[in-house]
Structure 1
């Protein structure tokens, strides 16, 4: 049962006055290829991980993504030769299933690619929808994402739109900034896919100090299995780009954000579990070097400057030092005057 909690696109917990339930799907994502006229057969497993039965409705919807990479439905009706949802056929009566308590069900489905299908990336969900039947009607939907690449004239093109460091304001909006008083330093990278199929840009950001020395142990990188589930995390000398290997779908822009938190180290608790921690307070001028890889033959390389001056600490410690020096100087004057008074009294007593 635990494996479904790890592999699900989402585990949905639904709360009401009388019950709680959880669902999972496996796999959360299919990445497929086929030619016009092909039929692709696959299976989705859906799991009811609670102790009461639920009825689900199976739906298909075309999708696109937002800049964050979060998928969203396409509400307009697409032509048959590019509408993946019209090619999906679920082998189930009435598109409804009743899952008993703690039951896992395999749901076969087919994708029948039409002969006149346009080449390139096509995207859709297979959705499992539930509607509660209590006093208050509540709905949820759990999905598995399908990314299909139709063979033909495939265009793999994309470009770096921007790479910069930013500050996040109270409204959670990003503003370009290269001067920081402390960590973390937040990086913003926008990549535009101008081709007709999905791509997975990757790469790294290395950081160098004013002397050109590369900083070590500044990032963590995920080790993923074939289904995109993290199996391990390693410490690396760079900040990885697109660490979870997310796709940028055709003709879309995706915004990646990541941050430099300091030097990475592992700390083990009393139970023997290792935790990722950060330390260090960088000061001065740094260069961040981006090496971006995609389907292009040559990587894209770009450098930006970062200045870190902990002015608040400087003001605090500087103010404390000034106060200490002022007190010391005043004490010195008082001590000198007191000594002069003592000497004067002794001279007068000796007359």
Structure 2
């Protein structure tokens, strides 16, 4: 299940800071269990003291829910939980309220989860905490805590109900996002809000295709990382869409989450000094200037490159999909239109050549209409004078 991986990515950095300071190790960092109503399961957490002195750890348990629309979970003590429908901490029993570890000692801490008869089907989320120096509820300013995530799936009627509550295009000005419908430069931000009303987490993923006025999909608008089966980075490739939530972030039950993604420009690959390739981005003017350059590889003598201000209408086509029960995929589409402005280079008439040609033609006409007749008249008079003299 990828959900635990996602949650772990949120918390691992904080856990690392704590374990680095306290020189402790704990495993595993999460437990995923499927437990039916009236059933009970037990698991073990291993805690190791890598210090040269003994340490006492105190255990506690809490639920976690979506703290805000950014998706950051918030821990809630059992007594502060408003409803038991999605509570998990009340049904967790920890074998030890505290444990003292000698230097270098590893201890197994057993916990059990018992599912009551009326528990809501779906996923329930909680954590077991280990804190040094003060028991749970002690009056201290700050107590560092290390936690293990507990994720329990209760089989039953999984209810799916969701809503796409927002899809906007933004611009950032002085580190503040403003909704706009016209842009002169990158990045352009896309903001998608997804609301999950029911009893299981959802993992929505999006692809935003950008379509121009000619109904052509814009190419190379984003990059996608290629990784090995083990998750190691290999290289980056360019794609013709903007992936949103390609990391697979989840939306917890009874919560709303905002996903913010940016269009950085038009991608191109650049060879690095170590032989690898990375993706860079061109801005609007650079991109359309390069497209014009492709058309002007060979200019005729009467052609020239000109620049003009262009307003181009872009349609962002949002395609949403998520996994429902039995791995069934659900899809949804929505669009948003905005305008981009840029300086476009195009092939036009070389006005210098036109002026020269007009001067030549004008000179020819002037010579024919003015100079030539006078020359002929002068020549005629000379001939008449010569004839008279003879």
Return the alpha-carbon distance in structure 2 between the equivalents of residues 288 and 265 of structure 1. 21
For the pair shown, the structure with the greater C-alpha radius of gyration is 2
Equivalence for 2:69: 67
Query: Over residues 19-77 of structure 1, what are the superposed CA-to-partner deviations in whole Å (9 max), with x where a residue is unaligned?
Result: 95566655555454332122234444557788876544332111111211100023414
Q: What does residue 347 of structure 1 align with?
A: none
Aligned residue for 1:187?
Answer: 190
Matched with 1:175 is: 178
- 1:214 alignment partner, SS class: coil
1:76-97 deviations in whole A, cap 9, x for unaligned? 1455564201222334x33335
Structure 1 residues 7 and 79, CA gap change in structure 2 (3 angstroms): closer
Q: Is 1:143 the counterpart of 2:147 in the alignment?
A: yes
Aligned alpha-carbon RMSD (Å): 3.9
Give the number of aligned pairs: 298
Contact preservation (8 Å) 1:7, 1:26: no
- Measured in 2, the distance between the counterparts of 1:273 and 1:104 equals 44
Query: How many Å separate the matches in 2 of 1:267 and 1:207?
Result: 23
How do 1:1-351 residues align onto structure 2 when only pairs under 5 Å count? 9-10=12-13, 11-13=15-17, 20=21, 28-44=29-45, 55-65=56-66, 66-75=68-77, 76-78=80-82, 82-91=86-95, 93-96=96-99, 98=101, 100=103, 107-130=109-132, 138-170=142-174, 174-221=177-224, 230-232=231-233, 234-235=236-237, 236-265=239-268, 267=270, 269-271=272-274, 275-281=278-284, 284-294=312-322, 295=324, 298-310=330-342
Runs of 5+ unmatched residues, structure 1: 318-351
Separation (CA, whole Å) in 1 of partners of 2:145 and 2:76: 16
Change over 3 Å in CA distance of 1:287–1:273 after alignment to 2: same
TM-score by length of 1: 0.69
Gaps (5+ residues) in structure 2?
Answer: 1-7, 135-139, 289-311, 346-390
Q: Is the 8 A contact 1:202 1:293 kept in 2?
A: yes
Larger mean Cα displacement after TM superposition, 24-33 or 151-160: 24-33
Go from structure 1 to structure 2 and tell me whether the alpha carbon gap of 1:20 and 1:208 turns closer, same or farther (over 3 Å shift).
Answer: same
Cα gap change, 1:72 to 1:212, in 2 (>3 Å): same
SS state at 1:86 partner: helix
